């Protein structure tokens, strides 16, 4: 059962890696809100971490990479950095848990080393979950706050893009992967401690048995007095 869970964790890990790369690359983090003066759909704007894209009626989409990082709002700057960190963490986690599976030959027959490696992979996936969830939720919070802010004009209001929803789904997959790996590590750890517990109990029983036999062979002083009389 543990081997199947580890294979499932590997599959989910690859899905999480594909999801983080997709979310980072997609330009649909913030999209145009068609309200008020923007009710007529003539031009649609997509804003992402690396570029913005314009799509007009009956015209192909045109995308332009940002000229400078400093022109981005603070939430998008932080999101770019955190998403890159998330991709790196997932790649490292996949490499680590690949060495920690039961069928791997990286650690040989050293089960303790494999257990530590598996726990490290689960911790890395947990960190990647946080580095994915935080920027996605931060950008979504900013979009919703500006949407309901009466001081912001309608042309500058944005809606939640598809990349944010994919980001939430990806963070959930990363969290599930981390939970599976940590549960598998916990089961391995308990099995690793069972032989030591059994050995300790057997040794305690042997000592108790020897003590009881020794006390049974020891004659009492009253018995010696009767033999003397």
To the nearest 5 percent, what fractions of the chain are helix, strand and coil? 70, 10, 20
Looking at per-residue pLDDT, the higher value among 188 and 166 belongs to: 166
Q: Could you tell me the residue range of the domain that residue 89 belongs to?
A: 2-194
User: What total number of domains does the chain contain?
Assistant: 1
Per DSSP, the three-state class of 63 is: strand
What is the per-residue pLDDT for 177? 92
The least confident of 115-119, 166-170, 221-225 is: 221-225
At 31, give phi and psi (nearest 5°). Answer: -125, 160
What tokens were used for 114? Answer: 């494999």
pLDDT digits (tens, 9 = 90+) for 79-118: 999 999 999 999 999 988 877 665 556 665 666 777 788 8
pLDDT at 225 over 50: no
C-alpha to C-alpha distance for 88 and 90, rounded to whole angstroms? 6
Q: Given strand 51-56, what is the order of strands in its sheet?
A: 62-65, 51-56, 43-47, 30-32, 158-160
Q: Is position 211 within any domain?
A: no
C-alpha to C-alpha distance for 187 and 115, rounded to whole angstroms? 10
C-alpha to C-alpha distance for 27 and 53, rounded to whole angstroms? 7
Q: Is position 98 within any domain?
A: yes
From 99, 102, 94, select the one nearest 125 (Cα to Cα): 94
What is the per-residue pLDDT for 82? 95
Distances (CA, A) of 109 to 18, 102, 120, 188: 32, 9, 18, 14
Vertex 175 angle, CA 171 and 179, to 5°: 170
C-alpha to C-alpha distance for 146 and 70, rounded to whole angstroms? 20
Cβ neighbour number for residue 22 with a 10 Å cutoff: 14
| DSSP letter (8 states) at residue 28 | T
What is the per-residue pLDDT for 100? 60
Mean pLDDT calculated for residue range 68-74 = 85
What is the per-residue pLDDT for 166? 95
From 147, 202, 149, 143, select the one nearest 167 (Cα to Cα): 143
Q: Is position 203 within any domain?
A: no
What is the per-residue pLDDT for 144? 92
pLDDT at 208 over 70: no
| DSSP letter (8 states) at residue 58 | T
What tokens were used for 29? Answer: 């983090």
pLDDT at 77 over 60: yes
Q: Is position 222 within any domain?
A: no
The least confident of 38-42, 59-63, 142-146 is: 38-42
Looking at per-residue pLDDT, the higher value among 4 and 10 belongs to: 10
Q: Is position 146 within any domain?
A: yes
The least confident of 46-50, 67-71, 76-80 is: 67-71
**The domain that contains 60 carries what CATH number?**
1.20.140.150
């Amino acid at each position: 059962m543990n081997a199947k869970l580890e294979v499932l964790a590997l599959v989910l890990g690859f899905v999480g890696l594909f999801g983080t790369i997709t979310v980072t690359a997609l330009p649909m983090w913030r999209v145009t809100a068609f309200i008020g003066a923007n009710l007529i759909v003539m031009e649609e704007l997509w804003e992402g971490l690396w570029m913005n894209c314009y799509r007009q009626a009956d015209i192909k989409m045109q995308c332009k990479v940002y000229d400078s990082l400093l022109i981005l709002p603070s939430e998008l700057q932080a999101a770019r950095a955190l998403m890159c960190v998330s991709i790196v963490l997932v790649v490292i986690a996949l490499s680590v848990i690949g060495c920690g599976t039961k069928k791997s030959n990286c650690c040989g027959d050293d089960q303790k080393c494999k257990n530590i490696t598996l726990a490290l992979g689960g911790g890395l996936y947990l960190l990647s979950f946080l580095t994915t969830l935080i920027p996605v939720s931060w950008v979504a919070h900013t979009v919703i706050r500006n949407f309901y802010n009466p001081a912001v004009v309608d042309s500058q209001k944005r809606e939640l893009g598809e990349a944010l929803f994919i980001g939430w789904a990806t963070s959930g997959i990363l969290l599930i992967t981390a939970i599976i790996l940590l549960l598998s590590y916990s089961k391995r750890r308990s099995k690793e401690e069972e032989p030591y517990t059994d050995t300790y109990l057997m040794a305690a029983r042997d000592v108790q048995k020897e003590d009881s036999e020794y006390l049974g062979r020891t004659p009492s002083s009253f018995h010696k007095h009767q033999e003397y009389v």
